[in-house]
């Protein structure tokens, strides 16, 4: 069973107690890991991975009521289509488990709303707690009302999940979406305000990585960094694997690069962060092939004009030719690489870095 580090459980938390502890996670370590995978795969629209995560959650003790609440909560962040598709997958998983004699527990439903419940008042109070200050979206009053009365009012008023639970779900789901970093960062802050701890936030990252969601883990790390005053890394949104930090060759790169070995033949995917490039170098006794698959970058041979690398551009680096390649200033870049026409005793000769002045001219 995959488990995210540092996700703590409030032991024996009853429904009545959960109302008093809305700022405490109610998931244990294994459940929190599964919840992260459930929410992220709902956002990604990956029904196969979602089904695996739902089974993982049920094995860890999540109830049908909790999983329904997680997926219906997310319609406010990922839209009705993804939420409804995910609920359909949930129904299928429940039916399959029931047929196998492993039906999940139903769990408790949400308590009735109190007499005189005021969605706008309730939501305003919850939103203020989430953001840390009173918030009003004056630019679009209807959106401000929907946020307060419906999202933070009607949805957050349901006590199947605590406020902390809901922010764990939201931060996990936003990790699966591209182009929402401002909201992602804001919800990391909101999670902290709602009682989710720093180790529990890092547990989301650990769970994403454990479920092989590397790009999503990088997005979450960037959101956490932005919310906590750390330097925010710019991240790749490519579907190609990022791999591990390229530490073995770091001395020959300006900036950070990552290496994913794709097969035993030596085919690799190299990921360059914006501004990262390798030193001038020469391949002796082999031809290097570069196939750009994501982002934008540059390839240059000594004494020649640089060639722009974009997805689909293929470069055959001649044997013995001094060259360099890397990302553009404002874009991640990924290229596949392998060697052909390999001769005995082949080697790489690493030379001087590409100067900042010449690079900035590109």
pLDDT of 171:
98
Could you tell me which of 94, 90, 56, 93 has the C-alpha nearest to residue 71? 90
Q: Is there a single domain that holds both residue 199 and residue 332?
A: no
Does any domain span residue 255? yes
Write the CATH number for 193. 1.20.1290.10
Q: Is there a single domain that holds both residue 207 and residue 303?
A: no
Q: Is the pLDDT of residue 84 over 50?
A: yes
Reported as a pLDDT band with limits 50, 70 and 90, residue 71 is very high
Q: Is the pLDDT of residue 337 over 80?
A: yes
Q: Is there a single domain that holds both residue 256 and residue 209?
A: no
**What single DSSP character describes residue 228?**
T
Mark which of 183, 200, 227 sits at the end of a domain: 227
Tell me the mean pLDDT in the region 147-156: 96
Least confident range from 17-31, 55-69, 103-117: namely 17-31
5 vs 196, residue with greater confidence:
196
Supply the mean pLDDT for the chain. Answer: 91
What's the number of domains the chain is made of? 2
Q: Is there a single domain that holds both residue 285 and residue 162?
A: no
Q: Are 233 and 218 in contact (CB under 8 A)?
A: yes
pLDDT of 6:
36
pTM reported for the whole predicted model: 0.70
pLDDT of 232:
61
Q: Is there a single domain that holds both residue 179 and residue 324?
A: no
pLDDT of 251:
97
Least confident range from 5-14, 80-89, 178-187, 276-285: namely 5-14
Does any domain span residue 144? no
Q: Is there a single domain that holds both residue 88 and residue 203?
A: yes
pLDDT of 236:
59
End-to-end CA distance of the chain: 49
Give per-residue pLDDT as tens, 156-168: 999 999 999 999 9
Q: Is the pLDDT of residue 173 over 60?
A: yes
Q: Is there a single domain that holds both residue 164 and residue 311?
A: no
Q: Are 157 and 113 in contact (CB under 8 A)?
A: yes
Q: Is there a single domain that holds both residue 220 and residue 248?
A: no
Q: Is there a single domain that holds both residue 248 and residue 340?
A: yes
Q: Is there a single domain that holds both residue 349 and residue 210?
A: no
Mark which of 227, 258, 276 sits at the end of a domain: 227
**Domain of 173, in residue numbers:** 15-110+158-227
Reported as a pLDDT band with limits 50, 70 and 90, residue 2 is very low
Does any domain span residue 67? yes
Distance in angstroms (rounded) separating the CA atoms of residues 78 and 169: 12
Least confident range from 89-98, 227-236, 315-324: namely 227-236
Write the CATH number for 252. 2.60.120.10
pLDDT of 280:
98
pLDDT of 331:
83
pLDDT of 218:
83
Does any domain span residue 148? no
Q: Is the pLDDT of residue 9 over 80?
A: no
Q: Is the pLDDT of residue 16 over 90?
A: no
Distance in angstroms (rounded) separating the CA atoms of residues 182 and 343: 51
pLDDT of 235:
60
Give per-residue pLDDT as tens, 339-361: 999 999 999 999 999 999 989 98
Does any domain span residue 265? yes
Tell me the mean pLDDT in the region 140-166: 97
Q: Is 269 helix (H, G, I), strand (E, B) or coil?
A: strand
Does any domain span residue 134? no
């Amino acid at each position: 069973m995959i488990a995210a580090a540092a996700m703590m459980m409030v032991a024996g938390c009853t429904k009545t107690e959960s109302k008093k502890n809305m700022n405490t996670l109610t998931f244990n370590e294994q459940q929190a890991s599964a919840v992260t995978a459930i929410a992220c795969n709902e956002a990604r629209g990956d029904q196969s991975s979602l089904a695996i995560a739902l089974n993982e959650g049920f094995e860890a003790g999540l109830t049908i009521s909790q999983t329904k609440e997680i997926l219906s909560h997310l319609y406010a962040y990922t839209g009705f289509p993804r939420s409804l598709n995910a609920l359909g997958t949930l129904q299928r998983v429940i039916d399959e488990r029931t047929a196998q004699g492993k039906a999940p527990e139903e769990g408790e439903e949400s308590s009735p709303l109190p007499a005189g419940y005021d969605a706008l008042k309730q939501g305003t109070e919850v939103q203020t707690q989430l953001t840390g200050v009173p918030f009003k979206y004056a630019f679009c009053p209807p959106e401000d009302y929907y946020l307060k009365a419906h999202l933070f009012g009607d949805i957050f008023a349901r006590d199947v999940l605590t406020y902390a639970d809901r922010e764990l779900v939201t931060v996990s789901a936003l990790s699966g979406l591209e182009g929402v970093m401002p909201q992602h960062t804001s919800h990391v802050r909101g999670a902290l305000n709602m009682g989710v701890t720093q180790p529990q936030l890092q547990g989301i990252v650990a769970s994403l990585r454990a479920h092989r969601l590397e790009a999503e883990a990088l997005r979450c790390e960037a959101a956490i960094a932005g919310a906590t005053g750390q330097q925010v890394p710019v991240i790749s949104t490519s579907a190609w694997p990022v791999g591990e930090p390229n530490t073995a060759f770091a001395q020959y790169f300006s900036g950070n690069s990552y290496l994913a070995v794709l097969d035993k033949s030596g085919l690799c995917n190299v990921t360059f962060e914006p501004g990262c490039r390798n030193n001038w170098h020469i391949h002796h006794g082999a031809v290097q092939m570069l196939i750009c698959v994501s982002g934008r970058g540059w390839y240059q041979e000594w004494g020649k004009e640089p060639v722009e690398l974009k997805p689909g551009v293929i470069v055959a680096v001649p044997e013995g030719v001094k060259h360099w390649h890397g990302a553009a200033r404002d874009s991640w870049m990924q290229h596949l690489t392998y060697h052909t026409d390999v001769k005995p005793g082949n080697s790489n000769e690493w030379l001087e870095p590409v100067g900042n002045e010449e690079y900035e001219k590109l």
